[in-house]
């Protein structure tokens, strides 16, 4: 169930700050991209992501500390509620997200939850079900950042966009 008429794209790029590598690839935010199911709001996101080969899905929240993944890209679908997220690390930007939004994060992109509604629920997944690590950049040494750079460089580009499939924004914008 995609809301093609409501789906609007937003992109943002962030510089490496010496602790959070971020990426040369833009973050892609699909606004209003997926209509949550009435009975089980997360189910529509799980179906859409799996249909486009973004697997290993989970339901939960977003950590309240800065972190990134150096071994995989990540998609976050907002199934219920709303939140303010900081993307790009301490020097990044704040984004308000709400149910139906989908955020696609390139490997290395810092993210954390600043605030959210009590009912906030997220569905996350990874292209082709890749394994991911969890790096807390401001709680580790700069050497961790340097080692992560080579892992990030080796993460393959996804074959599909988690919402729009083979001809979607990820394929067009991540080259």
How confident is the prediction along the chain (175 residues), in pLDDT tens digits per residue? 333 445 699 999 999 999 999 999 999 999 999 999 999 999 999 999 999 999 999 999 999 999 999 999 999 999 999 999 999 999 999 999 999 999 999 999 999 999 999 999 999 999 999 999 999 999 999 899 999 999 999 999 999 999 999 999 999 999 9
Domains and CATH numbers, the chain: 8-173 (2.60.120.10)
pTM: 0.95
- Burial class of residue 156 (count of CB atoms within 10 Å of its CB; 0-12, 13-18, 19+): exposed
Residues 6+ apart with CB under 8 A from 143: none
């Amino acid at each position: 169930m995609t809301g093609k008429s409501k789906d609007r794209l937003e992109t943002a790029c962030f510089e490496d700050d010496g602790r959070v590598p971020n990426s040369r690839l833009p973050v892609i935010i699909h606004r209003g991209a997926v209509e949550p199911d009435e009975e089980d709001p997360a189910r529509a996101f799980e179906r859409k992501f799996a249909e486009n080969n973004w697997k290993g899905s989970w339901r939960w929240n977003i950590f309240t500390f800065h972190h990134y993944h150096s071994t995989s890209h990540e998609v976050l679908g907002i199934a219920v509620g709303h939140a303010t997220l900081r993307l790009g690390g301490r020097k990044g930007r704040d984004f308000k997200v709400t149910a139906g939004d989908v955020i696609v994060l390139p490997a290395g992109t810092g993210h954390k939850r600043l605030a959210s509604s009590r009912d906030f629920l997220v569905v996350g997944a990874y292209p082709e079900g890749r394994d991911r690590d969890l790096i807390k950049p401001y709680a580790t040494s700069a050497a961790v950042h340097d080692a992560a750079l080579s892992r990030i460089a080796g993460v393959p580009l996804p074959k599909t966009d988690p919402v729009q499939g083979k001809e979607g924004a990820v394929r067009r914008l991540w080259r």
